Amino acid sequence: MRTYDVTLTITPDSIVWPGDQPVNIVRTSSITAGDTSNVSEISMSCHTGTHVDAPDHFLNNGITVEDLSLDLLVGRAYVLYLPDVSVITASVLIDADIPPRTRRLLFKTRNSENWANGNREFQTDFVALSVDAAELLVDRNVKLVGIDYLSIAPYNMGVPVHTILLTAGVVVIEGLDLSKVSQGRYTMHCLPMKLVGVEGAPARAILVGV
Ligand SMILES: [Zn+2]
């Protein structure tokens, strides 16, 4: 068994959603400067890097991140590799080789090449789910979806796809780096920070598999 870290590294250079503040990490106490210890502070959007969306992100007064079920965030997951699609539609999913009863589904797309290449420009043409794909996943009782860019929904079309998924209680993981994993079955551990009353949180995500 191997452990794959599918988490983006958070750095001051991290790509952020257009309009979000860049990541800021400052050392507020420094041994070099004569302090007894090193201490840092960070400021960033809760949707920076690899992160989880809770229902409250698009459903006002929805469940916030500290109340997400760990039973969904930990368990068997399937990585589906879709190298040649620009939008993940229902028909793409119907034609794809998804094992029956898959409850956690992670999409590896050409988006992951951006992480492998160290591309520092935000891409607006990233691969994401269409509305009919989101509806199909809910119908199939998928309970967690993950994508390898910063939104599960196409750029400038965030509301319907997020709303369909979050209304159905589907946990959404965004910003996965799946460049080093192949299509197949894994055990996933995705643990968002336990922030109270917040609509999303950065997470460490790993996959364990062969
Ligand atoms: Zn998000």
How does pLDDT run across 14-67, given as a tens digit for each residue? 999 999 999 999 999 999 999 999 999 999 999 999 999 999 999 999 999 999
Q: Which two tokens stand for residue 87?
A: 């939008």
pLDDT of res. 147: 98
pLDDT of res. 153: 98
Report CA(54)–ligand 1 centroid distance (Å).
8
> Does residue 203 contact residue 52 with C-beta atoms inside 8 Å?
yes
Catalytic residue among 47, 51, 57, 162: 57
57 is catalytic: yes
pLDDT of res. 10: 97
- Convert the pLDDT of each residue in 116-170 to its tens digit: 999 989 999 999 999 999 999 999 999 999 999 999 999 999 999 999 999 999 9
Q: Which two tokens stand for residue 126?
A: 């990233």
pLDDT of res. 94: 97
Average pLDDT over residues 83-96: 97
Report CA(30)–ligand 1 centroid distance (Å).
33
Environment class of 96 (CB within 10 Å of its CB; exposed 0-12, middle 13-18, buried 19+): middle
What SS3 state is found at 143? Answer: coil
With a cut of 90, say whether residue 101 has pLDDT above it: yes
pLDDT of res. 37: 98
Report CA(37)–ligand 1 centroid distance (Å).
34
